[in-house]
């Protein structure tokens, strides 16, 4: 049997009395693109943090290609790439230096040819020796993706990768996501753009107040929506249930 790229079982995360994740069960197949949707505060970034080692779950088990992210942390972490929401760089490194430093942090032997190929792929070659503080916002976003790919991860997390970017760059990133999937990379992305989820994802998973309430294809979601748009279905899904009197 083929191991899931990602398996979450009963994942909980509590901060004092606040429950950010409430027993999440989710599996992602190798080569699949899953869009993780939900309103702000639903637990999307918290779940990604637990999977990628940025946060420790309070309960439950998470495996990446069969490796437990707690007991097999180093192996699991090297299989994962993360593009965070925030643009975070040392302003005094160049894009070329940033990629080589990230390689070292991930325990990967230096591969200048691979780093240069990523710079070309993401249209950063002409700025390879410029300080990152001098890059445009779109270039910084592309560099984040290149950094996440420098160690050739098998599972890639994109946390709102197109937030605040223009339409042209959004389409370019969509094309790159498809190319990565076609090359065998499994992808989980969070987004507030429903058209992005519909265009890219094989399945859509929806979180509400830390609970996974649905995980199915956009087609299946639309089919049971009785002619309503994906946006209308999503809004209904994330509405708070009426209190029981």
pLDDT digits (tens, 9 = 90+) for 67-91: 999 999 999 999 999 998 887 777 8
Q: Looking at residue 244, what is its pLDDT? A: 53
Residues 220 and 243 grouped into a single domain: yes
Residues 64 and 119 grouped into a single domain: no
**Chosen domain end from 151, 184, 202:** 151
pLDDT tens string 88-98 = 777 889 999 99
Which residues share a beta bridge with 156?
81, 187
pLDDT tens string 27-45 = 999 999 999 999 988 999 9
Q: Looking at residue 236, what is its pLDDT? A: 87
Average pLDDT, the chain: 90
Residues 44 and 96 grouped into a single domain: no
Rounded to 5 degrees, what are φ and ψ at 41?
Answer: 85, 5
Helix (H, G, I), strand (E, B) or coil at 157: strand
Residue 55 structural domain: 1-79+153-245
Residues 103 and 202 grouped into a single domain: no
Count of domains for the chain: 2
Q: How far is it, in rounded angstroms, from Cα 48 to Cα 37?
A: 12
Residues 210 and 112 grouped into a single domain: no
Residues 186 and 133 grouped into a single domain: no
Residues 13 and 131 grouped into a single domain: no
Average pLDDT over residues 177-183: 91
Residues 245 and 208 grouped into a single domain: yes
Q: For 23-44, b where at least 16 C-beta lie within 10 A, e where not — what string?
A: ebebebeebbbbbbbbeeebbb
Beta carbons within 8 Å of 126's beta carbon, 6+ residues apart: none
């Amino acid at each position: 049997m083929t191991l899931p790229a990602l398996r979450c079982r009963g994942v909980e995360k509590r901060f004092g009395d606040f429950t950010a994740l409430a027993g999440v069960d989710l599996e992602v197949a190798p080569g699949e693109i899953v869009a993780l949707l939900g309103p702000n505060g639903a637990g999307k970034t918290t779940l990604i943090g637990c999977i990628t080692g940025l946060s420790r779950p309070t309960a439950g088990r998470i495996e990446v290609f069969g490796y437990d992210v707690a007991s097999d942390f180093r192996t699991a972490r090297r299989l994962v790439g993360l593009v965070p929401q925030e643009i975070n760089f040392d302003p005094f490194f160049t894009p070329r230096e940033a990629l080589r430093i990230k390689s070292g942090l991930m325990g990967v032997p230096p591969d200048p040819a691979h780093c240069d190929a990523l710079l070309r792929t993401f249209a950063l070659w002409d700025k390879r020796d410029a300080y990152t503080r001098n890059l445009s916002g779109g270039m910084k976003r592309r560099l984040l993706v290149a950094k996440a790919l420098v160690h050739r991860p098998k599972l890639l997390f994109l946390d709102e990768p197109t937030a605040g970017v223009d339409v042209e760059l959004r389409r370019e990133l969509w094309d790159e996501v498809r190319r990565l999937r076609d090359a065998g990379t499994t992808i989980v992305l969070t987004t507030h753009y429903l058209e992005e989820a519909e265009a890219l994802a094989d399945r859509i998973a929806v979180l509400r107040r830390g609970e996974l309430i649905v995980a199915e294809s956009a087609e299946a979601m639309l089919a049971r929506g009785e002619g309503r748009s994906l946006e209308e279905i999503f809004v209904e899904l994330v509405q708070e249930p009426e209190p029981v009197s």
